[in-house]
Amino acid sequence: MALIDLRDVSKSYRRDALEIPVLNGVTITVPAGDFMGLMGPSGSGKSTLLNLLAGIDRPTRGSIRVADTEISSLSERALAGWRARHIGFIFQLYNLIPVLTAFENVELPLLLTSLSKKQRRDHVMTALGIVGLGDREKHYPRQLSGGQEQRVAIARAIVTDPTLLLADEPTGDLDARSAGEVLTLLQRLNREYNKTIVMVTHDPHAAERAVHVLHLEKGTLVEQVESRA
Amino acid sequence: MGLVSGYNLRSMLVRKGTAAMTAMGIAMVVAVFVMTLAIAQGFRSTLVASGSTGNAIVLRKSATSETVSAVLKNQLPIIESMAQVARDGDGHPLASPELVVIISLPRISDGRPANVPLRGVGPRAYEVRDTLQIVEGRRFVPGTREINVGRQAVGRFRGLTFGSDVKFGGATWKVVGIFTADDASFESEVWGDVDLMMPAFQRGGYQSVTVKLSDPAAFSSFDVAMGADPRLDLKPQREREYYEGQSETTGTLIRVFATFVTAILSIGAMFGAMNTMYAAVAYRTREIGTLRALGFSRLRIVTAFLAESVALALIGGVIGCILALPVHGLSTGAMNMASFSELAFKFRITPGLLGGGLLFAAIMGGIGGLLPAIRAARIPVARALREI
Ligand SMILES: Nc1ncnc2c1ncn2[C@@H]1O[C@H](COP(=O)(O)OP(=O)(O)OP(=O)(O)O)[C@@H](O)[C@H]1O
Ligand SMILES: [Mg+2]
């Protein structure tokens, strides 16, 4: 059973009177437990596709089913709740809140749940433990290295145990060593914790860590799925 | 809400400068608000302090204040004989027939003539008004041209000091005593024997009679008995209610003025808050996008930014209240519209007034923050995330 089922999805942006097509009839299925790499040149629509999967943006046409929910028809409010439960998002620039500590950043998505303070603490410490930063809970983002920041962001993405992890160039801003650590971490999440991951990347080395890789060019998939299982 | 206290408050502190400016703007408005209403409050409590719940003031039926009332001389013994009127140890009824006239005396502050209320009272006025206390000298002796002067009047008008001679009503009067009255309006008055005041000012009768009731609860039967007596076209009021009513005209005037001034000032402060919040929203667009991507709903974003704005305004409100506090207890004067004479009173800042100031601050913060908060919630997530 496919976890993600994208059918004939198109997306265009309107700039003034101009209609700018970004995605043209993209059809993708991703089985549960997959680690999918998504490659393509700049401006090819990778982030747009990821945002559609995350329910952050809406398609102009087509159907997007994630975990058996047709998310393109959810209301704005329902979509926010759905994101909180099902999606863990990892950003290129980490997007940690600078005024919050590592602990508080990871705790953010849990504020939307009914967990008690104590339960939240347990979840946060578990997530920070998984990314190897259990001792940095009191640090603010500016007191961490880029690689550590991204690992905190990953902890934040996994702390609610979401259905799907989405990463938009998670290593794009990191040096080779930190990038390697982050990729190893994602691989571990996929293999040990059986997390389904979709990762956008420019970097062929990063893409090698994925189980499958898709290529996007000018809004369309260009190659058959390569499998490297 | 964890998001509110942690995230928004700390974010606010990142931009200390603008936040401080906004808070100060609100603080100024709240300070003005509290101070002007402290005038209204002080004015009111000075008049209300004049009224005792155990006393009743008797006026002509249609009269709204003692200056437009009339009580005939031969009505006084009828009132005094009523069962509800308290008596002293010797069996004398505790009733004071009174007459208020206005005399003109130069103000100490600017030398200009001002209206000073002169109250002619009966021989047992000090027993009826038991908050009055002679603090210097002695009571005037009935039947003589002696007068007592309220503490506030001594300080505000020339020639009323202890021992001096004052000319009015075609005669010379001697100040033989100074009294206080728990900050009540009587402290702005000059008191003398009513039976000497009447001929001095060509009046044939009294304006009012104030009696001490044998029991505060006796008021209603007093009222009924007076209404039933065909010789009396008079009506009693509880003294406290009477003075509350007297404070209304001027009190309302001050309050309208206060509202007008603060309303104008608050517009500026609200725009200040709005500006600050718009800047905060613009500055944190990517953070807002991130929170939305994590699953925070629009409503939560609106609430969070509104709360931030209200919190900022409340900080300003607290500062404003602190700025206003020193005026508490300061003396000032105003024209009493009910008697057209000067009334001295003190600024009075009550806990309720401070609460009102804080509420006002919160409302300014809420209104100022509303549009920016809505903008924050409406930013499309995908676009917000593209922002650096
Ligand atoms: N909110 C938007 N409004 C208008 N145009 C947009 C918007 N988002 C994306 N686009 C346009 O859509 C196209 C694809 O953008 P997208 O971010 O998906 O590309 P990408 O493959 O992620 O590129 P990169 O590798 O540079 O991140 C670009 O031309 C971009 O300008
Ligand atoms: Mg992109």
The ipTM assigned to this model is 0.93
Q: Are A159 and A127 in contact (CB under 8 A)?
A: yes
pLDDT in tens, B164-173: 999 998 999 9
- Minimum distance, in Å, between the CA of residue A60 and any CA atom of chain B: 14
- Under DSSP, is residue A215 helix (H, G, I), strand (E, B) or coil? strand
Closest chain A residue to the Cα of B284, Cα to Cα: A97
Look at residue B40 in the predicted model and tell me its pLDDT.
Answer: 86
Average pLDDT, chain B: 90
Look at residue B341 in the predicted model and tell me its pLDDT.
Answer: 67
Look at residue B340 in the predicted model and tell me its pLDDT.
Answer: 63
Kindly tell me if the per-residue pLDDT of B201 is higher than 70.
Answer: yes
Of residues A46, A39, A41, the one with CA closest to residue A11: A46
Look at residue B191 in the predicted model and tell me its pLDDT.
Answer: 96
DSSP labels, A92-143: TT----TTS-HHHHHHGGGGGS---HHHHHHHHHHHHHHTT-GGGTT--GGG
Of residues B184, B114, B201, the one with CA closest to residue B192: B201
- Confidence grade of residue B2 (pLDDT, cut at 50, 70, 90): very low
Among the residue ranges A164-178, B33-47, B359-373, the one predicted with the least confidence is B33-47
Integer-rounded Cα Rg, in Å, for chain B is: 29
Phi first, then psi, for residue B57 (nearest 5°) are -110, 130
Q: Are A117 and B334 in contact (CB under 8 A)?
A: no
Which residues are CB-neighbours of A168 under 8 A, at least 6 positions away?
A: A46, A47, A50, A89, A90, A91, A92, A200
Going through B220-347 in order, the beta strands assigned E by DSSP cover 234-238, 331-336, 341-346
Contact B291 A108 (CB under 8 A): yes
- Residues in chain B with CB shorter than 8 Å from the CB of A104 are 6
**Token pair 């007008």 in the structure block, residue:** B260
Question: Bridge partners of A87?
Answer: A164
CA angle A99, B382, A164 (to 5 degrees): 85
- Minimum distance, in Å, between the CA of residue A141 and any CA atom of chain B: 13
**Whether the CB of A215 sits within 6 Å of ligand 1:** no
Distance between CA atoms of residues B110 and B55, nearest Å:
37
Q: Which tokens go with A189? A: 């999440």
DSSP labels, B325-373: GGGTT-EEEEEETTTTEEEEEE----HHHHHHHHHHHHHHHHHHHHHHH
Q: Are B164 and B113 in contact (CB under 8 A)?
A: no
Contact A91 B297 (CB under 8 A): no
Look at residue B1 in the predicted model and tell me its pLDDT.
Answer: 45
Could you tell me the CA-to-CA distances from B67 to A159, B9, B336 in Å, in that order? 79, 58, 12
Residues in chain A, total: 229
Q: Which tokens go with B269? A: 């402060």
- Residues in chain B with CB shorter than 8 Å from the CB of A51 are 381-382, 385
Along the 229 residues of chain A, how does pLDDT read in single tens digits? 689 999 999 999 988 889 999 999 999 999 999 999 999 999 999 999 999 999 999 999 999 999 889 998 999 999 999 999 999 999 999 999 999 999 999 999 999 999 999 999 999 999 999 999 999 999 999 999 999 999 999 999 999 999 999 999 999 999 999 999 999 999 999 999 999 999 999 889 999 999 999 999 999 998 655 555 4
Residue ranges covered by each domain of chain A: 2-226
- Confidence grade of residue B339 (pLDDT, cut at 50, 70, 90): low
Q: With the CA atoms of A98, A104, A107 and A111 taken in that order, what torsion angle do they form, in degrees rounded to the nearest 10?
A: -90
User: Among A15, A22, A203, which is best to mutate for testing ligand 1, by the most ligand atoms less than 8 A from CB?
Assistant: A22
Burial (0-12, 13-18, 19+ Cβ within 10 Å), B124: buried
- Residues in chain A with CB shorter than 8 Å from the CB of B294 are 83-84, 89, 108-109, 112, 156
Contact B381 A76 (CB under 8 A): no
Residue ranges covered by each domain of chain B: 2-47+248-386, 62-232
User: Among A14, A16, A38, A44, which is best to mutate for testing ligand 1, by the most ligand atoms less than 8 A from CB?
Assistant: A44
Look at residue A113 in the predicted model and tell me its pLDDT.
Answer: 92
Pick the CATH number of A2-226 from 3.40.50.2300, 1.20.1290.10, 3.40.50.300, 1.10.510.10: 3.40.50.300
Distance between CA atoms of residues B314 and B77, nearest Å:
60
Could you tell me the CA-to-CA distances from A46 to A37, A195, B62 in Å, in that order? 10, 20, 87
Structure letter (DSSP) for residue B137: E
User: Among B286, B381, B383, B388, which is best to mutate for testing ligand 1, by the most ligand atoms less than 8 A from CB?
Assistant: B383
Which residues are CB-neighbours of B245 under 8 A, at least 6 positions away?
A: B64, B237
Distance between CA atoms of residues B2 and B12, nearest Å:
15
Task: Give the residue whose CA is nearest to atom 25 of ligand 1.
Answer: A42
Structure letter (DSSP) for residue B33: H
Look at residue B111 in the predicted model and tell me its pLDDT.
Answer: 87
- Under DSSP, is residue A149 helix (H, G, I), strand (E, B) or coil? helix
The model's pTM is 0.78
Average pLDDT over residues B51-76: 91
Q: What percent of chain B has pLDDT over 90?
A: 64
Q: Are B345 and B42 in contact (CB under 8 A)?
A: yes
Look at residue B250 in the predicted model and tell me its pLDDT.
Answer: 79
Ligand 1 centre and the CA of A156: distance in Å?
25
Q: Return the ligand number nearest the Cα of A39.
A: 1
- Residues in chain A with CB shorter than 8 Å from the CB of B382 are 48, 51, 56-57
Ligand 1 centre and the CA of A195: distance in Å?
27
pLDDT in tens, B244-280: 888 887 788 888 888 898 889 899 889 989 998 999 8
Closest chain B residue to the Cα of A87, Cα to Cα: B294
Q: Return the ligand number nearest the Cα of A18.
A: 1
In which region does residue A29 sit, left (phi positive, over 0), alpha (psi from -120 to 50) or beta (all else)? beta
